[in-house]
Amino acid sequence: MAIPVPLKRVAEFEELGFGMFIHWGLYSILGRGEWIQDRGPIPAEEYAELQKRFSAPCYDAKRIVSIAKAAGAKYITLTTRHHDGFSLYDTRGLNTFDAPHSPIGRDLVREFVDACREAGILPFFYHTTLDWRDTRFRDDFPAYLQYLRDSVEILCSEYGRIGGLWFDGNWSKPDADWEEDKLYALIRRHQPDAIIVNNTGLENRGKVGNPELDSVTFEQGRPTPMDREGMPKYLAAEMCQTVNDHWGFGYADLNYKSLRTLIETLCACRKVGANYLLNVGPTGDGEIPLIQEALLRGIGEWIDITGDGIYRGKPCGVLGEGKDFALGADGRMWFYVHDLGVIGDSNVTVDGGEDGERRFTGPMGKIKRIRWTDCDEELSFVQDGDGVTVSATAYPYGKHLVVRVAEAELAE
Ligand code: GLC
């Protein structure tokens, strides 16, 4: 059975490769994650008092976007409304539980979209589908769904072209009729090129849903290769992940992933053609915590050094051993080599990975030359009928890229 050809918007989404997720809202003021109203629990009316404190003096959309850009992210997915029901955008009369009716008094989504556009970053909107505050969610679900559609219609019609809509919350009523067709049809009316995602959550990673959806989600888990044979439509895949253990700001969550883990996870996603959506949680003041910014910038340094294969390269049926893998596109191939050591003795290197031969098997054109992307060193290789064996040199003292990338030029 055939693998369907991706729609243009889906193919373009896959090439974005890496995005920044932002969880920001009233909960950020408390600094105990975005679920604190539910987990506290905090009664809805008491929680709603936070709105009076939402002045976000440090929110600077341009600065946030510039951090994403430095990280090498091509898109940003912002929580325009989360489960607490508070909207960062102007709900234009649907209710007053939004940023314009808070001390900050501005439409923060507008600022976000403008800053993205100026920087050439594609804005995506996260929007919850559940609501802890609006009583219609419990008592009059059809009326609530109309409110949800009216909310989404604002986002689709007032902010120009957007990259996509990222829904989350249908798992809260697994047996309900969410009238998804109506919601997606309205998006298509306004934003025919938008990617539509509906997060299937921790229990259902990679699960295929409504036919209008463009991508499956892998929340907090590395994506597995997609089996697209016989699918009615080609679906992209995206993994989203927290940088520590919370999506929304957690002032006492110090359990950060290492830069090594983040780089390896980005690679693991791209290995199977999936996007990596890495989250930051700005403080209530609206600032991305320094440590989160630093980790993101670290990923950007890795991308700057190792080149554009991470966006352009696609899985091409060539496999490496262990974590190693290859991507290909446009007469080029990229070999992602893990766990290399640093050249030196025990004075300069603590623990060494292995240099030496790395084997990649699968169909590939004739290779003309292979060189490390981080320097011009050419690598010797032996190509045979099944693949290629590359002599991967270890890092020179002073360098360690976690994953080193060799680029191959193929003969015409
Ligand atoms: C989960 C959480 C939600 C978060 C989302 C991000 O669904 O419940 O708070 O926004 O994951 O993927």
- Domain-ending residue, one of 306, 337, 372: 306
Establish if 2 belongs to a structural domain: no
Establish if 166 belongs to a structural domain: yes
Taking a C-beta distance cutoff of 8 angstroms, is the pair 260, 402 a contact? Answer: yes
Helix axes 180-190 and 141-157, enclosed angle (nearest 10): 20
Q: What is the pLDDT of residues 11-44, one digit of tens each?
A: 999 999 999 999 999 999 999 999 999 999 999 9
Establish if 290 belongs to a structural domain: yes
- Domain-ending residue, one of 306, 339, 371: 306
Order the strands of the 403-410 sheet from edge to edge. 367-372, 403-410, 332-338, 325-329, 314-319, 356-361, 387-392, 381-384
Nearest CA to ligand 1 atom 1: 201
23 Cα distance to chain centroid: 12
Taking a C-beta distance cutoff of 8 angstroms, is the pair 270, 313 a contact? Answer: yes
Query: 323 C-alpha vs ligand 1 centroid, how far in Å?
Result: 28
Mutational test site, ligand 1, from 171, 219, 220, 280, max ligand atoms within 8 Å of CB: 219
- Domain-ending residue, one of 242, 273, 306: 306
Taking a C-beta distance cutoff of 8 angstroms, is the pair 395, 404 a contact? Answer: yes
Query: 168 C-alpha vs ligand 1 centroid, how far in Å?
Result: 7
- Pair (287, 368) in one structural domain: no
- Pair (18, 143) in one structural domain: yes
Cα–Cα separations (whole angstroms), residue 352 to 82, 338, 340, 341, 402: 45, 12, 7, 4, 12
Helix axes 108-119 and 61-71, enclosed angle (nearest 10): 40
Range of the domain at 384: 314-410
Top pLDDT among 349 and 5 is at 5
**For residue 355, what pLDDT band results from cuts at 50, 70 and 90?**
confident
**For residue 8, what pLDDT band results from cuts at 50, 70 and 90?**
very high
Residue 103 CB neighbour total at 10 angstroms: 12
Give the residues surrounding ligand 1 with Cβ less than 6 Å away. 23, 34-35, 168, 199, 201, 219, 240, 247
Query: 121 C-alpha vs ligand 1 centroid, how far in Å?
Result: 23
| Ligand 1 atom nearest to CA at 34 | 9
- Pair (355, 238) in one structural domain: no
CATH code for position 22: 3.20.20.80
Nearest CA to ligand 1 atom 12: 219
- Pair (406, 292) in one structural domain: no
- Pair (39, 68) in one structural domain: yes
**Mean pLDDT of the residues in the chain:** 96
Q: What integer pLDDT is reported at residue 350 of this predicted model?
A: 60
What is the tally of structural domains in the chain?
2
Query: 216 C-alpha vs ligand 1 centroid, how far in Å?
Result: 15
Query: 36 C-alpha vs ligand 1 centroid, how far in Å?
Result: 13
Nearest CA to ligand 1 atom 5: 168
Establish if 1 belongs to a structural domain: no
- Pair (134, 273) in one structural domain: yes
Mutational test site, ligand 1, from 199, 220, 243, 244, max ligand atoms within 8 Å of CB: 199
> How many residues are given for the chain?
412
By DSSP bridging, strand 387-392 and strand 356-361 are: antiparallel
Query: 309 C-alpha vs ligand 1 centroid, how far in Å?
Result: 30
Q: What is the dihedral of CA 152, 75, 24, 145, to 10 degrees?
A: 20
C-alpha distance across the termini of the chain, in Å: 30
- Pair (334, 404) in one structural domain: yes
Tell me the average pLDDT across 355-360: 92
